[in-house]
Amino acid sequence: MDRREALSRVALIFGGTIIGAEAFLSGCKTTPAKEGLFSADDIAFLDEVGDTILPTTASSPGAKAAQIGDFMKTIVTDCYTEDDQKTFTDGIGKLNDASKKKFSKGFMDLSAEQKHDLLVDLDGEAKQRAKEIGERQNKLTEEETHQMTLAKNTGTYKRDPQDEPHYFGMIKQLTLWGYFSSKPGATQALRYIAVPGKYEGCIPYKKGDKAWAT
């Protein structure tokens, strides 16, 4: 084991409900990836959602500049389980429906402020759902949890319908992961040095200094 592995395990433990992580670490079922889960409009839609979660700010461009819609398409298509793919792709319609319900127009037609307000609502829903799933899974015995992990690892896991994650939790998770590992995210929002050259264990930190991207 090395530190890289150690870090990824920390992320797993602290973020037990991270959806993307679960999918890419546990693999998937036997259905081949379908071609064309997403249309060009879907990608534009996801770009807009991502850019509302992480907009352009003084120091760095937003998620759209990181082609976040394309990134979501790649990960959902290549790494997600079939169950999670369906939740995600259905989620695009659900998000638009939520927009119509709240503001009587589709998400793409909302003002920036309305987009923000809607996603704050959905973020609340997603957190609530994640909490409920977490509480249910916390009640499992250690052995049941282990068996679930094994099933996920071997692709035999069948998700209980009540454990279906909220689509917005998925979108947000992929937005954060995709953005902060993208070139603009890593090099402008954060600090990235391809070849540090040396390691220094203790340097001064002053408020405002960016975090290291990796």
Q: Which of residues 92-131 bind another protein (CB under 8 A)?
A: 116, 119-120, 123
Task: Looking at residues 170 to 189 of the shown chain, list those that interact with another protein (rule: CB under 8 A).
Answer: 172, 176-178, 180-183, 186, 189
Question: Per the structure block, which two tokens stand in for 12?
Answer: 């797993």
Integer Cα distance of 182 and 26 in angstroms:
23
Integer Cα distance of 71 and 38 in angstroms:
12
Q: Which is nearer to another protein, 10 or 108 (CB)?
A: 10
CB 69 within 8 A of CB 95: no
Question: Per the structure block, which two tokens stand in for 20?
Answer: 């993307």
Q: Applying CB under 8 A, which of residues 37, 43, 130, 190 lies at the interface with another protein?
A: 190
By CB under 8 A, residue 133 contacts another protein: no
Would you state the torsion angle of the CA atoms of residues 80, 188, 60, 105, taken in this order, to the nearest 10 degrees?
A: -10
Segment interacting with another protein, rule: CB under 8 A, options 37-45, 72-80, 90-98, 157-165 = 72-80
Q: Applying CB under 8 A, which of residues 109, 153, 160, 163 lies at the interface with another protein?
A: 153
Q: Applying CB under 8 A, which of residues 19, 22, 26, 167 lies at the interface with another protein?
A: 26
